[in-house]
A = this chain, B = another copy of it.
Amino acid sequence: MIHVPAGAAKNSKNVVVSEEPFTVPGFSVSAAASRMRYKNRLDLALIVSDHEAAAAGVFTGNRFCAAPVILCKEHLRGGHARCILVNAGYANACTGEEGLDRARKMAGLAAEKIGVSPGSVLVASTGVIGPQIELAPMERVFPDLVEGLAPHKWEDVACAIMTTDTVPKMASTSVPVGGKNVTIGGVAKGSGMIAPHMATLLVFVCTDALISQEVLEHWVRIGAEHSFNAITVDGDTSTNDTLLVMAGGKAENPLVSDVESEESRAFGEGLQAVLLQLARKVVLDGEGATKLIEITVSSAPDVKSAKKIAFTIANSPLVKTAFFGEDANWGRIVAAAGRAGVELDPLRTSLHFEDVCVFRSGVPLLSEAVEVEATKVCRQKNIRVNLDLGLGEGTFTAYTCDFSCDYVKINASYRS
């Protein structure tokens, strides 16, 4: 059900993605416990490239964007970076000028200790919004962080960036690019999309592919659109959401600089598969989530309409609570589609739960056999729903989770 947009890699299904620990040639990583806010856990992560790497990022669209997001955008103007420094505990959001100054000092600290220019350091923060980050705890632990750098510690990084997450999230793959096997591996955190206090979405992916910044940026943008920009837990977007990708070039493949080339597409396919796997893990770790639901809207007038309807369904509390109740509630899905603000024709619309058709030509198929089969589908942990509009060529898949009592409990009781 991976959606392949026009101009994207043709079939990411062929890419095998691992969720086990991995290494990316040319990159070393480490994590430490700064005790800035949490007392007994890793909360600081460092990712360093041996050489200057091509770098690209995608950030939150939230108008209250956090200080590290502002700084990353500034540092990415040149299209290159050497390292990423991340802290968990405080988000450095809604912190004013002082917050931006501290983000700059955080980057400066890494630059000094690693011996790179401050402009080549990318920073990210996640945690409570409002309070300032503290620099002293980071300074204190930085020597350990640098000393601990090693290629195999990605799981530590995945753990250090967690907040309300219940599991660390890793994904990696290897794809042939110009006769060389290229590795693409990354980590993510996020649970609840997005509880602004803590559950920011952070994603860091590294690859040893030798690729131009323009081509990298192209695939990061497309990959994000059909992975992290296609998921929703509750429709909220954090002040800190950040996706960063660095390409170091250690694989020594011929430079990929033509976005239309076969090598470029092979890389794009691999990146998209890694991003989608990380995104799925984020949805399944959604606060209180018990199911992963893939909502595909097909035969829409265009992709934009398909996306609008898919997200209206994926964000509907009534649809999400029905899935929690394992109820094949076609009526709520159809009604959500109907209010998405997109023209559609009930008489051409059909709805499937996996292969079970429950609605066709404007009316439900109300037989007992259909009900039994559809209910069976709703008991699955991973459910695919397809709403076909019968109008055009546009298709989009949104990924969501169900809405449980635990979601309410977590978010009603939780602060800081």
Residues of A within 8 A of B (CB): 60-65, 94-96, 128-131, 192, 194-197, 234-239, 315-318, 321-322, 324-325, 327, 329, 331-332, 334-339, 341-344, 346, 359, 361-364, 366, 403-405, 407-409, 411-415
List 22 A-B pairs, Cβ < 8 Å.
A61-B341, A62-B339, A64-B362, A94-B331, A94-B334, A94-B346, A94-B363, A128-B331, A195-B318, A235-B316, A236-B317, A236-B335, A236-B336, A236-B339, A239-B335, A322-B412, A322-B415, A324-B412, A325-B415, A404-B412, A405-B405, A405-B409
**One of B63, B315, B344 near A343 (C-beta < 8 A):** B63
Which of A60, A197, A359, A361 is the most central at the interface, judged by chain B CB atoms within 10 Å of its CB?
Answer: A197
Cα A234 to Cα B334 in complex, Å, equals 16
Chain B nearest CB from A305 CB (Å) reads 12
Task: Answer whether A412 and B325 are a contact pair too, CB < 8 Å, given A62-B338, A343-B63.
Answer: yes
A95-B363, A404-B408, A408-B408 as given contacts; A415 in contact with B327, CB under 8 Å: yes
Q: How far is the CB of A399 from chain B (nearest CB, A)?
A: 17
| In the bound complex, CA of A361 to CA of B94 (Å) | 9
User: Which residue in chain B gives the minimum CB-CB distance to A129?
Assistant: B331
Give CA–CA (A263, B220) in the complex, Å. 62
Considering the complex, give the chain B residue whose CB is closest to the CB of A199: B318
Give the residue name and chain of the B residue nearest to A317 (CB): B234
Whole-angstrom CA separation of A342 from B343 in the bound complex = 24
The prevalent SS among residues of A at the interface is loop
Is B196 a contact of A332 with CB atoms below 8 Å?
yes
Known: A96-B362, A130-B363. A334 touches B64 (CB 8 A): yes
How far, in angstroms, from A327 to B415 measured CA to CA in the complex? Answer: 8
Min Cβ gap A289→B in Å is: 12
- Least distance between A111 CB and chain B CB atoms (Å): 27
A364/B407 in contact, CB under 8 A: no
B contact residues around A237 at 8 Å (CB): 335, 338-339
Residues of B within 8 A of A336 (CB): 236
The CA of A409 and the CA of B192, in the complex, are separated in Å by 20
A321 contact from B63, B364, B411, Cβ within 8 A: B411
Q: Is the CB of B197 within 8 A of A131?
A: no
- Do residues B63 and A317 form an inter-chain contact, with CB atoms below 8 A? no
A196 contact from B238, B317, B335, B359, Cβ within 8 A = B335
Contact A197 B331 (CB under 8 A): yes
Chain B residues positioned under 8 Å from A359 (CB to CB): 94
| Chain B residue, CB-CB nearest to A316 | B236
**In the bound complex, what is the Cα–Cα distance between A407 and B324 (angstroms)?**
12
A325 neighbours in B (Cβ, 8 Å): 411-415
Give 7 nearest A-B pairs by CB, closest first. A325-B412, A196-B335, A321-B411, A64-B338, A62-B338, A63-B338, A237-B339
Q: 19 other contacts beyond A94-B331, A236-B336, with CB at 8 A cut-off?
A: A62-B339, A63-B337, A63-B342, A64-B337, A64-B362, A94-B363, A94-B364, A192-B318, A196-B332, A196-B335, A197-B331, A197-B332, A236-B317, A236-B339, A321-B408, A321-B411, A403-B408, A404-B408, A405-B408
